[in-house]
Amino acid sequence: MHPVIITGLSGGGLSTAAKIFEDKGYFVSQNLPPQLILELVEMSTGEQSPVAKVAVVTDVRARMFNGSLMETISKIKEGGYNPFVLYLEARDGVLIQRFDSVRRTHPLQGTDTLKHGIERERKELEPVREIADVIIDTTNQSVHDLRRSIEASIGELASGRQHVTIESFGFKHGSPRDADLIVDVRFLPNPYWVEELREFRGVDKPVSDYVLGQADAEPFIENFVRLLGSTLDGYRHEGKDFITVGIGCTGGHHRSVAVAEEVGRRLRKKPQLDVSVLHRDLQRH
């Protein structure tokens, strides 16, 4: 069983993530104290349990109760279960905008500013972030983007397989903070400057053929896939089964998209991998 623990920064999208898991057939419980999370996991695995999949949303407010989330995760593992920890976050400016839009105060704000509350929360949750299976930065994501990211990240939580997300992006929109590896393909000629290709995207054959047909493209992709293979072996040895690889170009429309699609195609040939390809900035201007 893979009980899912959804946690992260207040305003990072925890409630939205809970709804997504409910739509996927999970029994979702929100704001449980740490000591009750283990009880819920044990109840859900009993012979008479009415649920097959369980997810728990917990945030920094749980600190008011005895026990810590780190201790709870350790006890879940000791019980023979394999918890999946999903951590959501966003940049400070976006979190501030989200709190202002709903006229709420931050749970750790006290008499200080909202920014101080966010800083305290980041520090307090850092140990959990360090052991998270997947970290999703929701800064530039809509509700639909978050759904796609979660679905791509968790797959079916298949045991014995590593899940690799290949995410194209544009550097002008910022690098994805949740990526474990980032590569830059701006050394390839930009189809944007070819007038007949400008309005196409990297998922379209004319652009894909142009990008992948460059002399430097094939050696780079071949070497990168080989390097990534050895890196994934190392991650597996360290118990990390969810990896996000960012591939960036200037705007995230052409080169990074075409290369991401090709890297994903080659990785899917490896039976031990579950591969998803996302294009973060494909529709952005």
Tell me if 104 is assigned to a ligand binding site: no
Backbone Cα Rg of the chain: 20
Closest by Cα among 205, 211, 224 to 256? 211
d(CA 274, CA 88): 22
DSSP H helical ranges for 132-172: 143-154
C-alpha 103/C-alpha 97 separation (Å) is 10
Residue 23 annotated as part of some ligand binding site: no
Q: 61: annotated binding-site residue?
A: yes
| Distance between CA atoms of residues 174 and 270, nearest Å | 31
Neighbouring residues of 96: CB distance < 8 A, sequence distance ≥ 6: 114, 115, 118
Asked if residues 217 and 282 have their Cβ atoms less than 8 Å apart, the reply is no
Does 275 carry a binding-site annotation? no
**Residue 149 and residue 136: Cα distance in Å, rounded?**
8
Closest CA to 17 of 163, 146, 132, 178: 146
- 3-class SS at 154? helix
Token match 């709804």: residue? 19
> Residues annotated in the binding site for GTP, as ranges?
59-62
> Residues annotated in the binding site, as ranges?
59-62
